[in-house]
């Protein structure tokens, strides 16, 4: 019985010893991890700021009438291409045409009166003074003839000298009357003519102003486009009452578009007017539209802590539509020959520009190394510290990888 118990103990000891030996052997053989490797290289990178953006036209106008009148004719519809100063609509204008004709007649009459005065026609008091002068001249001529005849008769002794004296007095009176009439006419002419000419000139200017106003009002019935563009909205139709506060059509210049976007306040300091940019519209996958940064807002959105930027992009083919949406990228600087690795090779610390990467040596052993990163572009990440070109890093399978783990490249 004791012999059987002893043999059982030996067998149990052997089994346990064998089991322990097997476990020790497994710990000495580390597991082989299959990973994907990438080589640290150099590449030219471009730093960019990306933000969603919305498209706006380069310029636009909601075109309304300047007077209230029914629309007689509308020469464009929504979608029409128009040129600057092209006639878009005509309003009813019969009453305004009549007012213009009346103003034209009034101007002609005023100009005729001015011409008549300038030519020497005398109105009112001056005309009466001229008549008095004519009468005085005739009386003077008669008195002179009587005096001359009586003088001859007195010399012949046909009449007494007293008759000649009477004629001499009458001649002197006639001369005085003529001189007085002449002086009076000159005085009236110097006063009345200048005053009447000034009044006539004023009437001409007033008539011209009324005509200009009538023509301007008539021109207001012709609605023209203030810019080249496309009719994007049509609000009224023939027969509708056009009013100054109600647009008839909207015209947009879409030859160039403005992309408006909000960029983080923290990155706005690197922006500068003229920087290159590109817009990727959501409705045109794969299409890129180059542009230039034109406007950087001087104010920060207090709620979102963002700064608005405007980028102008060419739209000669009119592929972009106002109101469209997409992703905007502004290129702030270029880094030629940057040391780069795939983004997947870096395990970054949250909210920091530092992290780790696994470098694989010639024995295929992985070693964790601290790195500091710079800008990123696409799937690449710039390395500022920690790695050198030519080194191998783990780009797939690095999460949870132990230090000094033996790896097998895929």
Classify residue 77 as exposed, middle or buried by CB count within 10 Å of its CB (0-12, 13-18, 19+): exposed
DSSP 231-247: EEEE---TTSEEBTTBE
pLDDT at res. 19? 47
Closest among 398, 387, 373, 381 to 341, alpha carbons compared? 381
Is 1 a residue whose pLDDT tops 90? no
Is 260 a residue whose pLDDT tops 90? yes
Is 26 a residue whose pLDDT tops 90? no
pLDDT at res. 102? 82
What are the pLDDT digits (tens) for 336-358?
A: 999 999 999 999 998 889 999 99
Half-sphere exposure of 397 (CA within 13 A, CB side): 18
Is 25 a residue whose pLDDT tops 70? no
pLDDT at res. 157? 80
What are the pLDDT digits (tens) for 217-251?
A: 888 889 999 999 999 999 999 999 999 999 999 99
Edge-to-edge strand ranges of the sheet holding 222-224: 222-224, 87-91, 69-74, 241-242
Is 192 a residue whose pLDDT tops 90? no
Q: What percent of the chain has pLDDT over 70?
A: 88
Classify residue 96 as exposed, middle or buried by CB count within 10 Å of its CB (0-12, 13-18, 19+): buried
Contacts of 189 (CB under 8 A, 6+ apart): 122, 126, 129
């Amino acid at each position: 019985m004791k012999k059987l118990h002893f043999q059982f103990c030996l067998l149990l000891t052997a089994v346990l010893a064998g089991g322990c030996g097997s476990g020790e052997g497994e710990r000495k053989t580390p597991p082989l991890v299959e990973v994907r490797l990438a080589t640290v290289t150099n590449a030219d990178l471009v730093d960019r700021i990306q933000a969603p953006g919305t498209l706006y036209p380069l310029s636009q106008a909601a075109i309304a009438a300047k007077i209230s009148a029914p629309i007689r004719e509308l020469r464009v519809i929504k979608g029409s291409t128009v040129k600057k100063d092209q006639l878009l609509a005509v309003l009813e204008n019969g009453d305004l045409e009549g007012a213009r004709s009346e103003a034209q007649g009034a101007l002609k009459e005023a100009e005729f009166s001015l011409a008549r005065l300038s030519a020497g026609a005398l109105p009112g008091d001056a005309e009466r003074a001229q008549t008095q002068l004519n009468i005085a001249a005739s009386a003077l001529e008669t008195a002179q003839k009587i005096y001359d005849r009586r003088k001859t008769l007195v010399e012949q002794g046909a009449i007494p000298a007293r008759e000649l004296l009477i004629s001499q007095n009458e001649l002197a009176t006639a001369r005085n009357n003529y001189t007085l009439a002449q002086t009076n006419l000159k005085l009236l002419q110097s006063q009345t003519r200048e005053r009447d000419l000034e009044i006539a000139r004023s009437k001409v200017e007033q008539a011209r102003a009324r005509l200009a106003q009538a023509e301007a009002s008539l021109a207001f019935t012709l609605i023209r486009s203030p810019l080249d563009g496309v009719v994007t909205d049509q609000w009224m139709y023939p027969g509708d009452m056009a009013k100054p506060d109600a647009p008839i059509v909207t015209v947009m210049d879409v030859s160039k578009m403005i992309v408006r976007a909000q960029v983080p306040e923290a990155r706005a300091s690197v922006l500068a007017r003229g920087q290159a940019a590109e817009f990727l519209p959501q409705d045109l996958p794969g299409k890129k539209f180059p542009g230039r940064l034109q406007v950087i807002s001087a104010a920060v959105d207090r709620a979102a802590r963002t700064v608005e930027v405007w980028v102008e992009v060419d739209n000669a083919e009119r592929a972009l539509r106002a109101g469209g949406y997409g992703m905007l990228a502004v290129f702030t600087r270029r880094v030629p020959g940057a040391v780069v690795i795939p983004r997947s090779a870096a395990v970054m610390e949250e909210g920091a520009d530092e992290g780790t990467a696994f470098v694989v040596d010639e024995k295929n052993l992985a070693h964790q190394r601290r790195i500091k990163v710079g800008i990123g572009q696409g799937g690449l990440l710039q390395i500022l510290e920690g790695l050198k070109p030519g080194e191998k890093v783990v780009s797939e399978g690095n999460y949870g990888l132990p230090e000094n783990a033996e790896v097998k490249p895929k």
